[in-house]
Amino acid sequence: MDTTTLKGLTVLEALVRSGESRSAGELAQELGLVRSNVHRTLQTLAHAGYVEAIADSAKYRPTLRLWELGNVVVQRFDIRKQAYPTMQALAAHTGETILLAVRQRLEVCFLDKIQTEKPVGTFVLLGARAPVHCTAPGKAILSRCSHGELQALPETFERYTAKTITTREALIAELAIARERGYAINTSEWREGVNSLGVPITAPGGEALGAISVTGPDTRVTLKKLDGYAPVLVEAARELSRRIGG
């Protein structure tokens, strides 16, 4: 493994995720790295166009180069183009925010969304990531995994709320239910006061390509509402899966 490259990517990711300009010293302290090494890494990234130095300051900030590359990758996900009409129909039917997500290891990445026009909604940034074990789209995707894939998951998971599932054993038990009924539910497991329902988009072989979910505040998107949305989302995902699978 090229540790130099790995450290460089770690520095870049930390700078991007911080949401603000950072100095080499600040990043070094946060990551437990040598300041001089972080400084050289930032200079290299600046030369390559991924970050830029702020004039009259020792700080750096990311450029739009990452956004440009990310858009190239996203455009290769044909699932995004195929799913959009389905998402529009679901947004019109539910009146709530509809999200499209794919799995990336122990997280899901949100590729697309249709935001509700209601005064109180759930805001999710495109490209943002969320834990796979306590989100509706994440659990919907995991519900299509094989026994071996599920056993390879960590034995424990991070807790975000009092309702977060934190053990592999408990998660697998819930995934069995989700697989049986065709959808997964999240009730304040990741974010307090937010409920959602996710359905897997599957390939012809049955594995999940991604998931579509409906999400909103629990004061409006109640369990009863989710139960009502379930058949519509399940059928929409099946039809989308058939279209993608040809």
Q: Do 3-67 and 77-245 share a fold?
A: no
Residue 176's pLDDT is 96
**Within 13 Å and on the Cβ side, how many CA atoms surround 173?**
6
Write out the DSSP string of 143-179.
Answer: TTS-HHHHHTS-SB----STT---BHHHHHHHHHHHH
Domain ranges of the chain: 3-67, 77-245
Fold assignment, 3-67: Arc Repressor Mutant, subunit A (1.10.10)
CA distance 2 to 123: 37
| pLDDT tens figures, 181-234 | 999 999 999 999 999 999 999 888 788 889 999 999 999 999 999 999 999 999
- Kindly report the pTM of this predicted structure: 0.70
CB atoms within 10 A of CB 156: 12
Secondary structure letter of residue 119 according to DSSP: S
Confidence at 120, pLDDT banded by 50, 70, 90: low
CA distance 70 to 163: 33
CA distance 24 to 29: 9
Q: Return the bridge partners of 120, or none.
A: none
Residue 68's pLDDT is 73
Residue 206's pLDDT is 83
Show the tokens assigned to 69. 């590359």
Fold assignment, 77-245: Beta-Lactamase (3.30.450)
For residue 145, give the nearest of 111, 168, 112, 113 by alpha carbon: 168
Tokens 């440009």 sit on residue: 68
- Stretch 144-156: mean pLDDT, rounded? 91
For residue 30, give the nearest of 46, 18, 42 by alpha carbon: 18
